Amino acid sequence: MRDAATGRPSQGIPLLLDVDTGIDDALALLYAVASPEAELVAVTALHGNAPVGDTERNTRAVLELAGRADVEVAAGSAAPLLRPLETTPETHGPHGLGYAALPEPGSPRSDRFGPDVIVDAARERPGELTLVTLGPLTNLAVAVLAEPKLPRLLRRWIAMAGAFRVPGNTTPVSEWNIHCDPEAARIALGAWQAAVDADEAQPRATLMGLDVTERARLLPAHLDALAARAGDGRLTAFARDALRYYFEFHARYDGFYGAFVHDPFVVAAALDGALIRTESVSVDVDASHGPGDGQTIADWRRTTGRRPNADVVVEADAHAFLDRFVERVGGLAAGRAGQAGAQAVCHPKARIGRSSPNRPAFRDVRPILSPDPMATME
């Protein structure tokens, strides 16, 4: 629901988004803004699809494009806990948004550190917030190390993470978000395991892996339908330019001209649980540096005797989601095009990708960790 005077959500599902804003993260941000039941509390950014300097700037630029420059955007972890930084320009382009070029955002990024935003928001609104993680789990790991009660303070955590009964998309067994920082994933899932072991009523993590997110294939026909709904405008042009790069990547590596839109599917599921069906299971992550490194290990047969710490999504209604995506993001784009048409045309600002002056340096969290990050969870 939205306040009639401000157009902002007056009540709904409070969301914290943790993103590494590449192309599908950008679509997820647009979907969240376009969803009337979502209250977008804050967004935290980190390394992943691109360096954190790009991902946080992309996040602010996309939110401005969508008319939500008021949302706090905080930069978080600049690198994995223990491993070298990896990014994926071949998938998302040199700065994360494919062929799209947005103006330098006018809104400053927050002075706060991303994991601190997660912890502070959870403490301020205990039992209310849904945390949606769409990138590597470094920010969440740092947050849970700072506040071990975080699983109990959040209403829910839902993640785009893992490959359970399908191959990985980065190695034969690992999905990108887990691959980038397996130690962080182990810490996060270990914290939820400890919480459910202490209290069976503790809400489990919800994990949407490649098993279901790759069922959401956005095709040129969907983009055409969105454009027909939206008309011409900056948001429509942004979607076309960003997705053209993504489509070309999938044509080269996945055999179809279109794109798996993992991240907005996860946001949609966070807002409407009817889109998914889950199975409860205990999940851990291999961080051995061996052939299984980055694998999400689900105890489907209950051989370990551990309580389930996760609800793994095993079925999801991709068709309903894609229809909803076209309708909602198309509607947002139409509204933004109408507003822009009533305003004077402005000269474009500098292209995103340059440093913002007078902001705190991005933080490398690795010095705070013990040599064995899992030792903290034992």
pLDDT of residue 355: 34
Mean pLDDT of the chain: 90
Strand pairing of 72-75 and 276-281? unpaired
Query: What's residue 359's pLDDT?
Result: 44
- Is position 262 annotated as part of the catalytic site? yes
Secondary structure (3-state) at 310: strand
Q: Note the pLDDT of residue 337.
A: 83
Per-residue pLDDT for the chain (378 aa), expressed as one digit of tens each? Answer: 444 333 444 469 999 999 999 999 999 999 999 999 999 999 999 999 999 999 999 999 999 999 999 999 999 999 999 999 999 999 999 999 999 999 999 999 899 999 999 999 999 999 999 999 999 999 999 999 999 999 999 999 999 999 999 999 999 999 999 999 999 999 999 999 999 999 999 999 999 999 999 999 999 999 999 999 998 799 999 999 999 999 999 999 999 999 999 999 999 999 999 999 999 999 999 999 999 999 999 999 999 999 999 999 999 999 999 999 999 999 999 999 876 554 534 434 334 433 333 344 556 554 444 444 444 443
pLDDT tens-digit readout, 183-193: 999 999 999 99
Locate all alpha helices (DSSP H) within the chain, ordered by sequence.
23-34, 52-65, 89-92, 114-124, 138-146, 150-153, 176-180, 182-198, 210-213, 220-230, 234-253, 262-271, 318-341
Residue of 262, 289, 319, 347 marked catalytic:
262
Burial annotation 342-367 (CB, 10 A radius, 16+ → b, else e): eeeeeeeeeebbeeeeeeeebbebee
3-state secondary structure of 365: coil
Q: How far apart are the first and last CA of the chain?
A: 43
Q: State residue 347's pLDDT score.
A: 38
What is the residue extent of each domain of the chain? 13-343
pLDDT, one tens digit per residue, over 152-170 is 999 999 999 999 999 999 9
Query: Which CATH number is associated with domain 13-343?
Result: 3.90.245.10
Tell whether pTM > 0.85.
yes
Q: What is the pLDDT of residue 340?
A: 58
